[in-house]
Amino acid sequence: MLSYPFMQYAFIASFFISIICAIIGVFVVARKTSFYVHTLSEISFSGASFAIFAGISPIGGMLMFTILSSIFVSLAGRKLSQREASVSVFSAVFIGLGVLFLSLSNKQSSYATNILFGSIVGISKENLYELLLLIAFILLITVFMFRRLKYISFDTIGAEFNAKGTLWIGLLFLILVACTVSVTAQIVGSLLIFSLLTVPASSAKYLATSVHQMMLISFIFSLFGTWMGLYLSYISNWPVSFFITIIEGVFYCFSLLYHKLSTTYRA
């Protein structure tokens, strides 16, 4: 299996994608912006289909659309990304646009399926370099703003009073989420991004006792899910995103069960 270059690329990419999903996912869960990530995934679909229509690389279109909408959401108001009504409007409009661009570009429908649900053969060598560069960028920025990001995410109200520049950190974070979404979409497709970005972190929340542990556990969950998913997809020829979502879903159910059991025992 690993003798095929495309499988090697997919395995390497998933390893690094799992790292950023674990780190960014913990903040997404802490900042209660899971629903916004869902919207970003639809926006990224729209961006990718625009890219096909305009003849640029799909990840470029995704980045453009997701980053621009992150900036817009930050400027429009901090609470907007948590407001379900406005977020739903966003989703609908962008899916509509995505459909339009796809039909204008005259590509086959398999192209759309690849964007929406990911593909095991989707990553070429050039894609891999692109992804690794982006991931390095995301990690670098995250490390530099790590402490401030922790402060505004885990103690939002305290930071509002006691820290300067919280708005900028919030904006920068949304841009990082946008980049992470665009990168993750390459493996699981744009519709199932949260299966890697929020589900492992939500599961880890129930098992960990500290933030670092939570990141480590979500990394292990993501990595196991993607690698196992790639393997199962290779031997069964079923879609990789199906396996990833099922594995992450099972992890979540067991974590929740563990949490319920341990809290009833304690009480």
* 17, 32, 255 from 71: Cα distances, Å: 23, 18, 34
CB-based contacts of 95, cutoff 8 Å, min separation 6: 42, 45, 46
Site map 215..254 versus other proteins, x via CB under 8 A? ----------------------------------------
Q: Does 171 bind other proteins (CB under 8 A)?
A: no
Neighbouring C-beta atoms of residue 137, cutoff 10 Å = 13
- Of the candidate spans 2-10, 58-66, 121-129, 205-213, the one that interacts with other proteins by CB under 8 A turns out to be 205-213
Cβ–Cβ < 8 Å for 98, 42: yes
Q: How far is the CB of 150 from other proteins (least distance, A)?
A: 6
Which listed residue (108, 109, 110, 210) binds other proteins by CB under 8 A? 210
Which listed residue (19, 115, 208, 244) binds other proteins by CB under 8 A? 208
- Looking at this protein, which amino acid is placed at residue 137? F
Q: Does 30 bind other proteins (CB under 8 A)?
A: yes
Which listed residue (1, 54, 143, 250) binds other proteins by CB under 8 A? 143
Q: Does 265 bind other proteins (CB under 8 A)?
A: no
The radius of gyration computed from the CA coordinates of the chain, to the nearest angstrom, equals 18
Nearer to other proteins, 108 or 266 (CB): 266
Cβ–Cβ < 8 Å for 32, 82: yes
Q: Does 155 bind other proteins (CB under 8 A)?
A: yes
SS (H, E, C) 65-102: HHHHHHHHHHHHCHHHHHCHHHHHHHHHHHHHHHHHHH
Which listed residue (80, 100, 141, 211) binds other proteins by CB under 8 A? 211
In a 10 Å sphere around its CB, with 0-12 CB exposed, 13-18 middle and 19+ buried, how is residue 116 labelled? Answer: buried
Q: Does 261 bind other proteins (CB under 8 A)?
A: no
Q: Catalog residues that contact other proteins under the rule CB under 8 A.
A: 29-30, 143-148, 150-151, 154-159, 161-164, 204-211, 213-214, 259
